[in-house]
Each structure stands twice: as C-alpha cells, then as structure tokens.
Structure 1
Amino acid sequence: MVDTSILESFIWSFLGIVVESLPFIIIGSLVSAIIQVFLTEELIRKFIPKVNILGYLGAILSGILFPICECAIVPITRSLIKKGLPVGIGISFMLAVPIVNPIVIMSTYYAFPNNISVVLLRTLGGALIALVVGLIMGALYNEKKKELILKENIMTIRCECCVNNKFTTSKREKIINLINHGSNEFLNISVYFIIGAFLSSVFSALMNNEVLARINTNNLVGVLFMIALSFILSLCSEADAFVVKGFLENFGVGAIVGFLIMGPMMDLKNAFLTFGVFNNRFASRLVLFITIFVTALALLISIL
C-alpha cells in the first residue's frame, strides 16, 4: 500500500517542476533552432578574436549572443577548432556558452528569486572555470598538437536537433528547418527533463530531512553527491535550476552551485559526445579538470 502523503508529495513536486520550467524549455528550444538554422560557424569564429586574452573573454561572453544548447556545443566546438580556432579558446567557448546565456540566467533567477547569490555564483563561477580550464587545455595542446586531438571518424551520438547543419537559402526551406529543429530540440530536451523531474520528485518524496542530513554529513559528501547527480541526470541548462531548487535547504548553496555548473559543462550525454569527437586522452583530461575545478569551487562556497 502506497502512503498517500508520499504520493501526493511526489505529484505536486513533479507538476510544480514541469509547469515552472516549461516556458523556458520552449524558449530555449526556439532560440536553439534559430541558431542552428540561421547562424553559421564562420560568424561565431569572426566574433571570437584569436588574440589570447581577448579571445578567451570573447569566447566566454559569446553565450550572451549565441545561447547554443549543450548537445550542439560539442560538435560546433570541434568544427571551430578544426577551422582554426585555438584549442583553449574553443574549450572556454564550449564550457561557458551553456551557462553564460540570458535564457539560463533568467531561468535560474526565476527558480531562485529569493537567492540571487545562486544566480551570480553559477554565472560567474561557470565563467571562471571555463576560463581556467580553457587556459590549461590551451597550454597543454598548442597549435602543433591541434590535429592530434580531433577524431576523424566522429561518433554519431548527436541529438536530432544538431544532425542537420545544412544552411539553405530558400525562405520556405528555412522555415521548415526551423520547425523541424525546434520540435526535435523540444522533444530531445523534454525526454531528459521529464526523467530528471521524475527522479527528483521521487527523491524529494521519499527522502525526509533526516535521511538527507545523513547523506550530507559534511560539505565534501554533499558536494560530491550533487555533482554526481547532475552528471547522471543530464538535464537541460534552461530547466535544471527548477529540478534542483528543492535540494537547497538540505544541501546548501555550495552543493547546488556545483550541480548547476557541472551539468551544463559535462554530463553523461555530453561525455559521450566529447569522447566521440576528441581523442580519449584529451577528453579524459577535459572531464578530469572540469570535475576538479567544479568540486573545488563548490567546496569553497560551502566553507565560506
């Protein structure tokens, strides 16, 4: 016999997450579709200067103008690097864009209206980690080693919204592509999101404060738990804040920020993509550096 209070808690939690985040998923899907259909890699490359510090800053801030989805960012980054963008700048671009963009910032603020620190720490912390990891990867892999990091036989583990990158001239074809990209993007995001919302609601309904307190026995355990959860759930960055906001009371700001930064930078589906387009050594180092710096930042926030 199912406890009715647990079932009621699950239903209200699940519906609340879905209703609150649905507008942002729709907006994110539409913007991503517009970018896929109308924006060329050449335009992005022109926007990001190749001069070191300006290039890194341009790469990080480009998310404001080009809010590209996580599933699209990996193959786009590979193409940009192959076309001449320095490795480090490309990595900073790949890590920052899913976090430093107005849709994600707006959705995070909407999910945490009474805790602006979460919004600021996610955005600024994500930008800082993107810069640091980009600089490290750029130092390890100079121009001479660039070709060695790219795989020629790319694995086809891309979402449907990113498969067709053909740019057409006909207005009718562009509108059709826009509708196709938008609907595929929405369905793709929704699958991951519904799974994440379901698991989060089950977790919230079954886990009382006493159980959660045992998991979060110290800052390190809480941070590692939330980072691992973010990696596994593979949520869309436009909606992940709504899923995780229920954990704030039990895990604190540091663990929540770790969740909100780790997911967009490197989750399970993006890990497959990363190992698919880059060689294993490069991809392993990238995943390791991201995990180390996100964990360090989350712990620092928890301690302070």
Structure 2
Amino acid sequence: MNQLHNAFTLFLSLLVEAMPFLLLGVLLSGLLLLWIDERQLIAVMPKNPILGAFVGSCAGFLFPVCECGNVPVARRLLMQGVPAPVAVGFLLAAPTINPIVIWSTWVAFRDQPEIVVLRVVFSLSIATIIASVFSVQSNLKPILQPAIACALPQMKTQTAEDETPTLLKSGTFWLGQPQPAMSAVGITGGGIMGQSITSKPLSFKLRMLLENTVQELRELGGVLILGSAIAAAIQVLVPRELILSLGQGPIASILAMMVLAALVSICSTVDSFFALSFATTFTSGSLLAFLVFGPMIDLKGIGLMLSIFKPRAVFYLFGLAAQMTFIMTLLYTYFF
C-alpha cells in the first residue's frame, strides 16, 4: 500500500511538472500555425541538410520548451513543410539548448562549469548529427504517422471537394482519424479564401488558437499521462540501491545513469538538481550522460514522439542518441 501511495505521488509530481511545458509547447505550435506564414518560414530555412540541422538544434533559444513541449512544436514545423533536419534537430536539442535549462544547470553545477559547457556542446552535436542522418530520408512518409504524413504540404493533393489542409482539421492525429474541418470554411493551402491566415483579424486567430490548443492537448495529454504513470511505477519498483551499486566503474556508471535518465523522466529544467544528488557516488561523465541523454529520450518523450513518428523511427532516434551519448561521455571520462 505504501508503494502504491509513493507511485501515485511520483505520478502526480511528474504530471504537474510536465503539463505546463506541454501547454507552452502547444501554444507555441498554435502561434506557428496562425502567426507565422509557412511560405516565409520555409523560405528562410537553410536548404543544406547539415546547416539546417544546426539551425534547428539552436532554435531552442527562440522556443524555450522542455521535452514535453518540444514535440507539438516539432510536429507543427514538419506539418508546415519545414525541412526534416530542422524539425528533428529542434526535437532533440530544444529541451537542453535553451536559456532556462542552461541557467538551471549553471545554478546546480556552478562548481563544475565544464558540466554546463559540455552539456550544451554534446547535446548540440548529437542533435545536429542525428538530424543530418534523417536528411538522407528524402521521402518522410514511411517513417511518419499516417495523419502527419498526409498533412505535409509536399505530399497532400487537394481537390475541389476538399480544400481544407489536414493540419487545420480537427481530429486525433494519434489515431489517424480526422474529423470535419475546424470552424473556418473555405480554408485553402494559402489561407482563407485565398488569403494568408496571418492577415486575418485577431478575433479569428484567437478562436483558431483555442481550437488548435484543445485539439493538441487532447492528443498529446493522454500520451503524457501514460508515460508519467509508467515512469512512476518503474521508479518505485526498481530499488535505488541497485542503481547506486552500478556507479563505481566508468562504463557501468554511464550506462546506469543513462537508463536512470530514461526511466525517471524528469523535466530538463530541473533534472540538473536531481543529477547533483548523485555527484558523490557517480563519475562526472555519468552525470553528464544523464543530463544529455534524458532530455532527448525518456519514457514521456518516447510516448509523445510516437504521435509524430512510427515506432521504427523512434527506435532509430533512441539508438543513435544512446550510442553517441555513451561514446562522448566515455571519452570525457577517460581523457578529462
């Protein structure tokens, strides 16, 4: 009974901690939809895959969200036709490459400034490399959820009977069952009745923002609740002593902290304080692995990513991020 109480407490704490950032991400997603002209957005994005991946990885400074809020923003970027390297780079790097997280890491590790610097450098490098790898996939349809693939501008074909783009239709992207179009009638790929959405009245934009926010919260909120429940159950069932016993060797400690980061699913804005509690037991390299890997891949994040990508693509993201985090932090442990 005591374990059940602890699990429920952890579940609520994870949910309360993550929900504001999910809401922030959903709001930013709506702002991208209604206030940013998608043609202008696509036009300014670098066409070079590596440069696009780097720009997307650095975009967290403009949209400071954690790993709960970056998914709806990345999804909206993809649906507006932003190149895949930009969206994937943002998806992986935004939870770390933003001023809020950098500041909180500095507060926790001010006696070890190299942790702060290397967290940014490693996260930016890993996100850029993985995003560049995804640029090789010229056709994203095989790795995206069907509803997201249908919403991509370059993949959809609209007829006179259905001129409403998928990204403006209400429905559950997770289930892939779009419903009737949102309240605006006659919305075309270029806007409303041939006009850009960005030129519509403020009252119209606010109504569309509210509808989009409710839609995405319904879709992503359920996944977040499920991921938080799983993470809370694992934290209670796996003895902390078992994890601490693995913190002695350089390799075992890095692996243990990476697994811990994925399981506990702590928001990137506060994970540095959690990692600090292991500073006397684990090596600096393993603490760095926790701070780099956790914001990219954790149980909540995997669940949310599945609203964009098919399981195979999420598995690739997980594997690449894990390998590069392990290699970089191991080299730091041995040579520095």
TM-score, L = length of structure 1:
0.70
Q: Partners of 1:75 and 1:34 in 2: how far apart?
A: 9
- Say if 1:107 and 1:138 are closer, same or farther in 2 by CA, change over 3 A: same
Distance in structure 1 (CA, Å) of the matches to 2:286 and 2:207:
45
Work out the CA distance in 2 between the residues paired with 1:31 and 1:99: 16
Partner of 1:297: 328
CA–CA separation in structure 2 for the residues paired with 1:275 and 1:283: 7
**CA separation of 1:271 and 1:26: change in aligned 2, threshold 3 A:** closer
Tell me if structure 1 keeps the 8 A contact 2:28–2:73. Answer: no
Equivalence map 1:154-165=2 (5 Å): 156=174
Aligned-partner residue type, residue 132 of structure 1 = I
Distance 2:43 2:263 in 1: 35
Encode CA deviations 1:151-177: one digit per residue, 9 max, x unaligned.
1257649xxxxxxxx999339869989
Q: 1:138 and 2:119 equivalent? A: no
Kindly indicate whether residue 143 of structure 2 is the aligned counterpart of residue 149 of structure 1.
Answer: yes
- The separation in 1 between residues aligned to 2:314 and 2:111, in whole angstroms, is 38
Q: 1:99 aligns with which of 96, 99, 123?
A: 96
Change (3 A) 1:277 1:213: closer
Q: In the alignment, which of 242, 246, 251 is matched to residue 215 of structure 1?
A: 246
* Alignment partner of 1:230 out of 250, 253, 261: 261
What is aligned with 1:241? Answer: 272
User: Mean alpha-carbon deviation: is it higher for 34-43 or for 129-138?
Assistant: 34-43
Q: What 5-or-longer segments of structure 1 have no aligned partner? A: 1-13, 158-165
Q: CA deviation at 1:112?
A: 1.2
Matched residue count: 265
% identical aligned pairs: 28
The answer on whether the counterparts of 1:107 and 1:241 sit within 8 Å (CA) in structure 2 is: yes
Matched residue type, 1:130? A
- Corresponding residue of 1:258: 289
1:238 match: secondary structure? coil
Cα shift readout 1:167-193 (whole Å, capped 9, x = no counterpart): 99339869989x99xxx99xx89x96x
Cα contact 2:104–2:272 (8 A) shared by 1: yes
Once the two structures are superposed, the pairs formed by residues 1-20 of structure 1 within 5 Å of their partners are none
Structure number with the bigger relative contact order (C-alpha 8 A, sep ≥ 6) is 1
Deviation at 1:242, TM superposition (A): 1.1
Confirm or deny: 8 A CA contact 2:257 2:287 kept in the other structure: yes
Deviations 1:37-73 (A, max 9, x none): 5444637656633333331221121111111332232
Asked whether the equivalents of residues 56 and 89 of structure 2 are also in contact (C-alpha less than 8 Å), the reply is: yes
- What is the DSSP-based 3-state SS (H/G/I as helix, E as strand, rest coil) of the residue aligned with 1:66? coil
8 Å Cα contact 1:137-1:286 kept in structure 2: no
TM-score when normalising by structure 2? 0.64
CA separation in 2, counterparts of 1:79 and 1:30? 14
Query: In terms of Rg, which structure is larger?
Result: 2
* Larger proportion of helix: 1
Amino acid at match of 1:252: T
> Residues of 2 paired with 1:286 and 1:299: CA distance?
20
The equivalent residue for 1:169 is 202
Q: Quick one: which amino acid aligns to residue 332 of structure 2?
A: I
Cα RMSD for the two superposed structures: 4.1
Please list, as runs of the form range in 1=range in 2, the aligned pairs for 1:26-65 lying within 5 A after superposition: 32=25, 35-36=28-29, 38-40=31-33, 42=38, 45=42, 48-65=45-62
Cα shift at 1:244: 1.2
Distance in 1 (CA, whole Å) between partners of 2:255 and 2:310 is 27
Distance 2:285 2:255 in 1: 11
